Chains A and B, each alone.
Chain A
Amino acid sequence: MNKRFIDIWGWPIMLALLTTLGLLAALLGTGVWHWLSWASMAFPLLVIGYYWRKSHIKK
């Protein structure tokens, strides 16, 4: 079964937007902007960690 565009690209686009936000937030502000930057930059790593674990548990 072939997937629709959004099925394939939904997550990658969201992670790309979050990374972009994270890269810019720390450049444009301090304080809460730094926290925003850390959180949005950490998200793609958490997603990787989640699927990595999931594939181990499935076994």
Chain B
Amino acid sequence: MSIRKWYLIHKWTSLVCTAFLLMLCITGLPLIFHEEIEHLSGVVEAPVMAENTPNASMDAVAEAARKQRPQDVIRFMFWQQDEHPNVTLVSMAKSMDASPDDSNIVLVDTRTAKVLDEPPPERGFMYVMLKLHIDMFAGLPGMLFLGVMGLLFSVAIISGIVLYHPFMRRLDFGALRREKQARLKWLDIHNLLGVATLVWALVVGITGTINTLSQVVIAVWQGDQMADMIAPYKGLPPPTRLGSLQDSIETAKKTVPDMHVSFVAFPGSMFSSPHHYTVFMKGNTPLTSRLLRPALIDAQTATLTDSREMPWYVKTLLLSQPLHFGDYGGLPLKLLWALLDLVTIVVLVSGLYLWIKRRQHTGQRITDLEHKHAAMAKGALR
């Protein structure tokens, strides 16, 4: 392909996505530090107790949450031992199929089954940043639209890599021609910053696009592996009385002994069937802690129905999350994420500036040509 064609690809993909990418970079910046920001605003912690205090039965924990919000049902229960030690987070809503936005979290002490807090849903600054970043308050269409923008961003980066070669043919790496025109200086800055951070930008762009497909991926998984595992229950009426949650969790632990419980999806919720507690197990390394493994436990008998490794497309989604969020290497990695995000903003803005300058340049040339043409026409008349 000719350089001109690559240039046109670079120009048009960038032009379409730049405004949205700028929005994503700006809203993404505080989101990198959402855990730290949440901690600053004060989260209730479980009181200090003797080191080996045993946990309460999870049935008691669920009961405490139900008493706290009698009008609601429990959809999920999850644990974040590093961030919230000894706390069970219970996610409740009016009904099983209510929007995720309408969830309420109840924090229960895992050892005493006492309710610690019931924070109101966050509707402040961080919520607005998150919603803008995920779907611009436009639901699934907004999410998929941003996914397409991420894809265009990736094409812009790849075409930018191709264009780097002809632009750098006569320049040393890192040369910034400050003494020349402003346009050349910003071209050099755009090229240096872009080429030095291209792998990060590509990875965050592509994993971002994959994350926009999360609802699609989950729907495919439900119709595929999940449907396969719960096939024996097809057509049966949903159970009216549920068995023990604690026993169900114990069954899951015995089934997958080398992993520990990450979260439990209650019967009828999004990640389960009407007949099962789905216990999601996670491993101990940074990698395996992301690769959840579901164990479907019959909610009436607390016996195992099935447990399978996630299919490749769910694994891809699960691994795309840390690579997009930058939350898997401590605070230093988050700081690097923020700096690389700022560099990307400079690349985007300088690219926009170069396009405007080039247009002015082209506009100027056309004006010149018009003058010339007019002068020539005058001369011919004489």
Contacts and interface: CB of A to CB of B under 8 A. Distances in A.
Interface in A16-34: 16, 19-20, 23, 26-30, 34
Contacts of B169: 2-3, 8
6 contacts: A9-B165, A27-B328, A29-B285, A34-B330, A41-B340, A55-B175
Interface stretch (B193-201, B292-300, B362-370): B193-201
Nearest to A44: B196
A59 B329 CA distance: 39
Nearest to B322: A27
A56 B286 CA distance: 41
Interface of chain A: mostly helix, strand, loop or mixed: helix
A38 B329 contact: yes
Contact of B336 (A3, A9, A41, A55): A41
Contacts, number: 97
A12 B328 contact: no
Interface of B: 164-165, 168-170, 173-176, 178-179, 192-193, 195-200, 203, 285-287, 319, 322-323, 328-330, 332-333, 336, 339-340, 343
Given A23-B323, A34-B329, A34-B330, A55 B176 contact: yes
Given A38-B332, A51-B175, 5 more contacts: A26-B329, A34-B332, A41-B333, A44-B200, A55-B176
Contact of B333 (A26, A56, A58): A26
A41 B339 CA distance: 11
B329 A48 contact: no
A6 B346 CA distance: 27
